[in-house]
Amino acid sequence: MRSKDDEKIGDVLKSMVSQMKHKGRLHQTQIRTAWEKLMGASIMSYTTSISLRKTTVYIRVSSAPLRNELTYSKDKIKNLLNGELGQELIEKVVIQ
């Protein structure tokens, strides 16, 4: 029987992660997963690295034409990633 103080395991885990220092690594993993989901396998195959530093996402791609195209879509990428993450975590996107 549940008492009124019972919490869902997902809520407890979110609380623990937010208190831990590994929150940045969790966000970085979530961003990589979101990037692959949103951009698809073809763009992911040209993506060499994705990293998060504070509120800036650095995306490195190996194709110059793709890099140029993504540079013009930085605001859209930021909005898509924030929407997929469910929070306004990213303030800036840098395409390298």
The answer to whether the CB of 65 falls within 8 A of the CB of 84 is no
Q: pTM of the entire structure?
A: 0.74
9-95 fold: GMP Synthetase; Chain A, domain 3 (3.30.300)
Of 16, 22, 35, 24, the residue nearest 82 (C-alpha):
35
Instruction: pLDDT band for 56, please (50, 70, 90 cuts).
Output: very high
Q: Which two tokens stand for residue 59?
A: 């995306």
> For 57-78, how does the pLDDT look when each residue is reduced to its tens digit (9 = 90+)?
999 999 999 999 999 999 999 9
Higher pLDDT, 81 or 5: 81
Instruction: pLDDT band for 12, please (50, 70, 90 cuts).
Output: confident
CA distance 59 to 32: 10
SS3 state of residue 54: coil
- Where along the chain do its domains lie? 9-95
